[in-house]
């Protein structure tokens, strides 16, 4: 039985402790023998690394269920996670809404809540963040006592190491110290990450990316996002913007993009761009995304051409990324408004990807995985989990 009075312990003290804990967290239950086999650590090193986690209540030994090897008389006791040893708050910040969740150690959502934003100023957003976190943590005994971390996911250029939002196009933020402001307001340890990278972390540790040493996640929605994992590590780049295929130029000199460039994938295939192009093509300034999709599904050549161009742009950018990193799989995800039109451009996306991908890169498996905003909030919580249980350079 878990003792809720146990204090939080700083148990990540070495590469071995990080390796052992994360393997049990993401792939467990798993025996010490199996951990040693997979990692190359000695049995003694695995036992030494696991002991602090057991003492702190994060891990426990299950009943013996398997033997350590042929002829061995001693059964192994798999290590498993106490998922409710610690809780995490994750929040996805959009331009008009906050979507919040509480997760356990395995990033399983146990609570969720939404809060509308009446303004986009950092001060208003942070005040609403505090209110949302207080609401979520007040829903059940133990949440507040066992929650020390808040993860925030936001679109745009984010410096995760400092919590600085350099640029968020949909909120129109520039150089906002969101991490610092949220820490002061909530009293929690705060991580801030680009929303696509946060969703990728959740897939890497707890989803379709488990077991893949390299994969990419591409999101389709208001913008076109991408994040990549190479050699089992999320690639951030020198300034945290690696993987931004939304701003790969595939359209020549047009159309202009909000980033200041021209012909970017996002300026062709993001939801606002698709709606604008459909309005121009059909001569209807009141047309919505739903209306554009309906027109394309009814056979309108002009509307179909808009979605076809979007699919081709995304496919070409995905191929460029695949040629550079050679992922085992690409997960195509995003919120439902963006992915609702997927079947209207899937053929063009796949054709462009196959045509432009070089050699065996074209064999990369494409996986469609819609992600409601609660999953993006879960991604923010997953970043907080990963940050807490990854050895940090000091």
The answer to whether 204 and 234 are in contact (CB under 8 A) is yes
Query: Best-predicted range by mean pLDDT among 56-65, 115-124, 356-365?
Result: 115-124
Quick one: average pLDDT of 162-171? Answer: 93
Q: Quick: pLDDT tens for 23-62.
A: 999 988 999 999 999 999 999 999 999 999 999 999 999 9
Task: Give the pLDDT score at 254.
Answer: 80
Per-residue confidence band for 75, with pLDDT thresholds at 50, 70 and 90: low
Is the pLDDT reported for residue 393 higher than 80?
no
Domains of the chain: 15-84 (1.10.10.10), 86-200+376-388 (3.30.420.40), 211-371 (3.30.420.40)
Weakest-pLDDT range from 193-197, 207-211, 231-235, 279-283: 207-211
Task: Give the pLDDT score at 3.
Answer: 45
Is the pLDDT reported for residue 71 higher than 50?
no
Quick one: average pLDDT of 102-131? Answer: 96
Per-residue confidence band for 361, with pLDDT thresholds at 50, 70 and 90: confident
Q: Which residues contact 39 (CB under 8 A, 6 or more apart)?
A: 19, 20, 23, 46
Quick one: average pLDDT of 198-224? Answer: 90
Strands of 189-194's sheet in order across: 109-116, 97-103, 87-93, 147-154, 189-194
Quick one: average pLDDT of 101-111? Answer: 96
Cα 362 from Cα 242, distance rounded (Å)? 22
Mean pLDDT taken over the chain = 89
| Residue 277, φ and ψ in degrees, nearest 5 | -65, -40
Quick one: average pLDDT of 178-182? Answer: 98
- Cis link prior to 136 (omega < 30° from 0)? no
Residue (of 261, 51, 255) closest to 245 by Cα position:
261
pTM of the model: 0.86
Weakest-pLDDT range from 2-16, 122-136, 232-246, 288-302: 2-16
Cα 261 from Cα 238, distance rounded (Å)? 21
What percentage of the chain reaches a pLDDT higher than 90? 67
Task: Give the pLDDT score at 184.
Answer: 97
Task: Give the pLDDT score at 1.
Answer: 34
Strand duo 329-334 + 365-370: pairing: parallel
The single-letter DSSP state of residue 361 is G
The answer to whether 46 and 65 are in contact (CB under 8 A) is no
**Roughly what angle, to the nearest 10 degrees, separates helices 289-297 and 301-325?**
100
Task: Give the pLDDT score at 137.
Answer: 96
Quick one: average pLDDT of 338-342? Answer: 79
Residue (of 272, 275, 264) closest to 314 by Cα position:
264
DSSP run (H or E) holding 217: strand 215-220
Task: Give the pLDDT score at 171.
Answer: 93
Task: Give the pLDDT score at 259.
Answer: 84
Alpha helix ranges (H) inside the chain = 15-27, 32-39, 43-55, 122-137, 178-186, 195-206, 265-269, 271-282, 289-297, 301-325, 336-339, 342-356, 373-388
Residue (of 356, 372, 272, 273) closest to 320 by Cα position:
356
Is the pLDDT reported for residue 89 higher than 80?
yes
Task: Give the pLDDT score at 394.
Answer: 35
Weakest-pLDDT range from 14-18, 48-52, 117-121, 307-311: 14-18
Q: Quick: pLDDT tens for 264-283.
A: 999 999 999 999 999 999 99
Cα 65 from Cα 68, distance rounded (Å)? 10
Quick one: average pLDDT of 165-185? Answer: 95
Burial of 255 (0-12, 13-18, 19+ CB in 10 A): middle
């Amino acid at each position: 039985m878990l003792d809720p009075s146990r204090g939080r312990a700083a148990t990540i003290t070495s590469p071995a402790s990080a390796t052992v804990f994360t393997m049990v967290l993401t792939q467990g239950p798993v025996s010490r023998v199996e951990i040693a086999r997979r990692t190359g650590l000695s049995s003694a090193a695995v036992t030494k690394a696991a002991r602090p986690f057991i003492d702190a209540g994060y891990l426990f030994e299950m009943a013996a269920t398997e033997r350590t090897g042929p002829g061995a008389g001693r059964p192994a006791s798999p290590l498993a996670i106490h998922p409710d040893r610690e809780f995490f708050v994750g929040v996805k910040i959009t331009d008009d809404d906050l979507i919040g969740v509480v997760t356990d150690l395995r990033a399983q959502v146990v609570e969720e809540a939404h809060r509308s934003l009446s303004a986009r100023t950092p001060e208003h957003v942070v005040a609403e963040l505090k209110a949302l976190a207080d609401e979520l943590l007040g829903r059940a005994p133990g949440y507040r006592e066992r929650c020390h971390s808040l993860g925030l996911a936001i679109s745009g250029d984010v410096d995760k190491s400092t919590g600085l939002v350099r640029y968020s196009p949909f909120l129109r933020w520039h150089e906002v110290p969101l991490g610092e402001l949220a820490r002061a307001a909530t009293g929690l340890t705060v991580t801030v990450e680009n929303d696509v990278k946060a969703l990728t972390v959740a897939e890497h540790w707890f989803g379709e990316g488990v077991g893949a040493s390299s994969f990419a996640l591409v999101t389709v929605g208001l913008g076109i996002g991408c994040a990549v994992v190479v050699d089992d590590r999320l690639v951030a780049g020198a300034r945290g913007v690696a993987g931004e295929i939304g701003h790969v130029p595939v359209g020549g000199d047009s159309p202009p993009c909000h980033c200041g460039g021209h012909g970017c994938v996002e300026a062709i295939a993001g939801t606002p761009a698709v709606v604008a192009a459909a309005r121009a093509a059909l001569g209807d300034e009141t047309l919505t995304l739903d209306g554009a999709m309906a027109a394309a599904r009814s056979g309108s050549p002009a509307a179909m051409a808009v979605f076809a161009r979007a699919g081709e742009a995304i496919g070409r950018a995905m191929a460029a990324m695949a040629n550079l990193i050679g992922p085992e799989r690409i997960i195509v995800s995003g919120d439902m408004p963006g992915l609702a039109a997927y079947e209207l451009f899937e053929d063009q996306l796949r054709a462009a990807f196959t045509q432009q991908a070089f050699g065996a890169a074209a064999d990369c498996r494409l996986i469609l995985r819609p992600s409601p905003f609660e999953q993006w909030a879960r991604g923010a919580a997953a970043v907080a989990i990963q940050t807490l249980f990854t050895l940090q350079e000091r």
